């Protein structure tokens, strides 16, 4: 059991340092993370260009973050599973597939939200 330590600003700052390092490692080492980041930057650029309302911005940012969070959790599970079971194991495969499914669901919702918000605005500009 961990002892009760006093609140420490230094410890809180270190925890942010670790979190930002995790983000850096994720975007440097995870190919899917870079793909999601690229898609997010396109969506954000399009959002500025189309002058989204505040509620539309909230929806776009929420789905962007949900996809990135799901991908970070998926990458974490995959890395941990590879350490726990370097050899193929059917139960580890199920765990990895479930984590990947979470990313897929978040990405599908992000695409649907993007279509709902962007398509009408783009059709007025194009058509």
Confidence of residue 3 (pLDDT cuts 50, 70, 90): low
Q: Which pLDDT belongs to residue 7?
A: 87
What counts of helices (H) and strands (E) characterise the chain? Answer: 4, 0
User: Which sign does the torsion angle of CA 95, 107, 16, 2 carry?
Assistant: negative
3-state DSSP call for residue 78? helix
Query: pLDDT, tens digit, for every residue of 48-70?
Result: 999 999 999 999 999 999 999 99
- Residues labelled as active-site residues: 71
Query: pLDDT, tens digit, for every residue of 94-119?
Result: 999 999 999 999 999 999 999 999 99
**Average pLDDT, whole number, for the chain?**
94
Q: Which pLDDT belongs to residue 12?
A: 87
Q: Which pLDDT belongs to residue 55?
A: 98
For residue 84, the tally of other CB atoms under 10 A from its CB is 10
């Amino acid at each position: 059991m961990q002892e009760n330590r006093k609140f420490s600003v230094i410890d809180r700052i270190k925890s942010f340092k670790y979190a930002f390092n995790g983000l850096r490692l994720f975007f440097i080492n995870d190919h899917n993370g870079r793909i999601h980041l690229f898609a997010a930057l396109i969506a954000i650029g399009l959002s500025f260009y189309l002058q989204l309302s505040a509620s539309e911005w909230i929806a776009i940012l929420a789905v962007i973050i949900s996809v990135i969070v799901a991908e970070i959790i998926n990458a974490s599970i995959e890395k941990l599973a590879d350490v726990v079971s370097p050899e193929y194991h059917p139960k580890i495969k199920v765990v990895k597939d479930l984590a990947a499914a979470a990313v897929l669901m978040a990405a599908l919702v992000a695409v649907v939200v993007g279509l709902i918000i962007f398509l009408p605005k783009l059709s007025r500009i194009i058509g």
